[in-house]
C-alpha cells in the first residue's frame, strides 16, 4: 500500500515566492496526497492565492504570526491528524522543489535497508550552488555499516537537517511530538530534527533537489541583528532544556556554537548591539519555553496540536 504523503508549507507575506512553491508542488512526478498551507497571519493576499491554487488541499490561517516554529508545529499537527499523513514533507514558502524532489526522497526511503525517520533534500540557491544555510550535519561516529546502508539509498547519515525540504515519518512525530512553538524562529528545526534523530535514522538525499530562494547567499555566521536574541535564547533552551542531544553531542555542539558566535561578533559592524542582543537572549532563556499546546491554544489547529502532543511519549 502506498504511503500517504502530505506537504506542509508555512507562508508569511511572500505570495510571489509561495506561487512558485505551489507550482513546484503541483509538478511533482510523485503526486502529493494533500498540501496544507499555514498562513502565518499574512497581510498580503497569501491566503487567497493559496486557497485558489489547485494543488492546495487546505489553507489554515493563524490569528497571529507564530514564526516558523509555530507554523510548522501547526502544519505538522494538521497533516498527521486531519489529513492522516504517513509522511510529512516540510518546507518554507521560499522553497521551490524540482519535479522529482519528492520521488527521490521516497525512492531513497524504499532503498534503505531499514526504517528512515527523516530524509532531507539538497537545497540550492537560485544559481545552483548548494545553500550553506541548509546543509545537513553528518552523523558523527556513524559506523561503516551505517554509511554503507545510507550509500545504498544514495545518501549519507545525518544528525540534523533544516526545515527546507525534509520528509518526516509520521510515527516519529506521534512518538516525539511537535516542534517547540515558542522558539518562534531560529534553531527550531535543529532542535526538532536532532530530537527525532537522537535514535532515529536521518538520510541526506542529494538527488532530491530544491531551490531555497533566500535574498542572499550565506551561512548562519552572518550578523543577524535583532534575531540574535532568538539565536541565543533558543540555543540556551536547546542545551539546557531539550532531550534532543546526548552528553557528547551537547558538548560538541555547544563548543561549535560558541566558536560561531565568536566569529559572528568579530565580523559584525556593530559589536555592541550584537552583544546586547546576546545578553537579552540569555536573559529570556532563564524562563522555560511554553508548551506548544499553550502557544497554539487559540488557533484553528488547537485540537490537532493537543492530540499529537498528548500522545507523544518523548522517547
Domain with residue 35: its CATH number is 3.90.550.60
C-alpha cell at 222: 552572518
Q: How many CB atoms lie within 10 A of CB 32?
A: 16
Same domain, 206 and 83: yes
Same domain, 229 and 300: no
Packing angle of the helix pair 247-267, 228-241 (nearest 10 deg): 160
Cα separation of 238 and 232, whole Å? Answer: 10
CA atoms within 13 A on the CB side of 96: 15
Same domain, 159 and 257: no
pLDDT score of 216: 81
Same domain, 263 and 297: no
Same domain, 233 and 202: no
Look at the alpha carbons of 267, 268, 272, 273 in this order and tell me if their dihedral is positive or negative: negative
Cα separation of 197 and 166, whole Å? Answer: 13
How far from chain centre, in Å, is Cα 77? 14
Element (H, E) at 78: helix 67-81
Same domain, 150 and 109: yes
As a residue count, the chain comes to 315
Tell me if 132 sits within 8 A of 218, measured CB to CB: yes
Q: What is the DSSP string of 252-294?
A: HHHHHHHHHHHHHHHH-S-HHHHHHHHHHHHHHTTSPPPPHHH
Tens digits of pLDDT across the chain (315 residues): 789 999 999 999 999 999 999 999 999 999 999 999 999 999 999 999 999 999 999 999 999 999 999 999 999 999 999 999 999 999 999 999 999 999 999 999 999 999 999 999 999 998 989 998 888 889 988 999 999 999 999 999 999 999 999 999 999 999 999 999 999 999 999 999 999 999 999 999 999 999 999 888 766 667 788 999 999 999 999 999 999 999 999 999 999 999 999 999 998 889 999 999 999 999 999 999 999 999 999 999 999 999 999 987 654
Same domain, 79 and 170: yes
pLDDT score of 314: 53
Cα separation of 135 and 160, whole Å? Answer: 9
Tell me if 196 sits within 8 A of 177, measured CB to CB: no
Cα separation of 75 and 90, whole Å? Answer: 9
Alpha helices (H) along the chain:
15-26, 46-52, 67-81, 101-111, 144-152, 170-176, 188-196, 228-241, 247-267, 271-284, 292-295, 302-311
| φ, ψ dihedrals at 184, nearest 5° | 60, -70
The number of distinct structural domains making up the chain is: 2
SS3 of residue 145 by DSSP:
helix
Give the contacts of 259 (CB within 8 A, at least 6 positions apart): none
Residue 171 DSSP symbol: H
Cα separation of 79 and 10, whole Å? Answer: 12
Boundaries of domain holding 228:
220-284
pLDDT score of 221: 65
| φ, ψ dihedrals at 218, nearest 5° | 180, 175
pLDDT score of 132: 85
Same domain, 240 and 139: no
Same domain, 230 and 295: no
Same domain, 194 and 172: yes
User: Does this model's pTM top 0.85?
Assistant: yes
Cα separation of 72 and 95, whole Å? Answer: 14
pLDDT score of 30: 97
Amino acid at each position: 500500500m502506498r504511503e500517504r504523503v502530505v506537504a506542509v508549507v508555512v507562508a508569511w507575506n511572500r505570495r510571489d515566492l509561495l506561487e512558485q512553491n505551489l507550482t513546484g508542488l503541483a509538478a511533482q512526478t510523485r503526486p502529493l496526497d494533500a498540501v496544507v498551507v499555514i498562513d502565518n497571519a499574512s497581510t498580503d493576499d497569501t491566503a487567497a492565492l493559496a486557497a485558489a491554487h489547485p494543488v492546495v488541499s487546505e489553507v489554515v490561517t493563524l490569528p497571529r504570526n507564530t514564526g516558523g516554529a509555530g507554523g510548522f508545529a501547526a502544519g505538522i499537527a494538521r497533516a498527521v491528524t486531519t489529513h492522516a499523513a504517513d509522511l510529512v514533507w516540510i518546507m518554507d514558502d521560499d522553497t521551490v522543489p524540482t519535479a522529482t524532489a519528492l520521488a527521490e526522497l521516497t525512492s531513497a526511503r524504499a532503498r534503505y535497508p531499514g526504517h528512515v525517520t527523516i530524509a532531507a533534500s539538497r537545497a540550492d540557491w537560485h544559481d545552483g550552488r548548494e545553500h550553506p544555510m541548509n546543509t545537513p550535519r553528518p552523523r558523527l561516529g556513524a559506523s561503516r555499516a551505517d554509511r554503507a546502508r545510507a550509500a545504498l539509498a544514495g545518501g549519507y547519515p545525518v544528525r540534523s537537517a533544516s526545515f527546507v525540504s525534509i520528509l518526516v515519518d509520521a510515527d516519529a512525530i506521534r512518538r516525539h511530538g511537535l516542534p517547540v512553538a515558542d522558539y518562534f524562529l531560529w534553531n527550531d528545526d535543529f532542535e526538532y530534527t536532532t530530537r527525532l534523530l537522537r535514535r532515529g535514522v536521518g538520510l541526506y538525499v542529494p538527488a532530491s533537489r530544491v531551490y531555497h530562494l533566500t535574498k542572499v547567499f550565506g551561512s548562519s555566521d552572518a550578523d543577524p541583528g535583532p534575531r540574535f536574541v532568538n539565536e541565543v535564547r533558543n540555543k540556551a533552551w536547546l542545551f539546557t532544556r531539550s532531550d534532543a542531544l546526548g552528553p557528547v553531542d551537547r558538548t560538541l555542539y555547544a563548543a561549535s556554537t560558541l566558536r560561531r558566535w565568536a566569529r559572528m561578533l568579530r565580523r559584525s559592524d556593530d559589536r555592541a548591539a550584537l552583544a546586547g542582543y546576546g545578553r537579552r537572549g540569555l536573559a529570556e532563556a532563564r524562563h522555560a519555553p511554553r508548551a506548544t499546546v499553550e502557544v497554539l491554544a487559540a488557533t484553528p489547529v488547537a485540537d490537532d496540536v493537543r492530540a499529537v502532543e498528548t500522545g507523544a511519549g518523548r522517547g
